[in-house]
C-alpha cells in the first residue's frame, strides 16, 4: 500500500486553528465564485461581486502564506 505524501500546508492545516479558519473561508469564496460563474451572463453587479470575491480570496490566501512562512521559519530555527 502506497503512503500518500502530505504537504507542509496539510500539516499546518491540522495544527493551526487560524490557518484552518482561513482555509475554510478561502473554500467558501471559491464556491461563491463558482456559483457566480454558472450564470450564462454576468451583469455589472455580478462583475463587481466577482472582483470583490477575488480580492477577498487573495487576501485570505496571503494570510495563509504568512502563517505557512511563520511556521516554516519557526521549524527551521528549531532544527538547528
Cα(25)–Cα(61) distance, integer angstroms: 10
Reply yes or no on whether the pLDDT at 80 is more than 60: no
pLDDT value of position 59: 99
Residue-range domain boundaries for the chain: 18-78
Q: pLDDT tens-digit profile of 2-49?
A: 456 666 667 777 778 999 999 999 999 999 999 999 999 999 999 999
Average the pLDDT over each of 9-13, 49-53, 65-69, 75-79 and give the range with the smallest value.
75-79
- Report yes or no: 39 and 46 within 8 Å, Cβ to Cβ: yes
Confidence tier at 1 by pLDDT (50, 70, 90): very low
Amino acid at each position: 500500500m502506497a503512503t500518500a505524501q502530505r504537504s507542509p500546508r496539510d500539516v499546518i492545516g491540522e495544527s493551526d486553528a487560524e490557518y484552518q479558519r482561513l482555509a475554510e473561508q478561502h473554500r467558501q469564496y471559491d464556491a461563491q465564485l463558482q456559483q457566480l460563474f454558472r450564470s450564462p451572463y454576468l451583469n455589472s453587479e455580478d462583475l463587481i461581486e466577482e472582483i470583490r470575491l477575488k480580492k477577498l480570496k487573495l487576501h485570505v490566501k496571503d494570510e495563509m502564506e504568512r502563517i505557512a512562512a511563520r511556521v516554516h521559519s519557526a521549524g527551521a530555527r528549531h532544527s538547528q
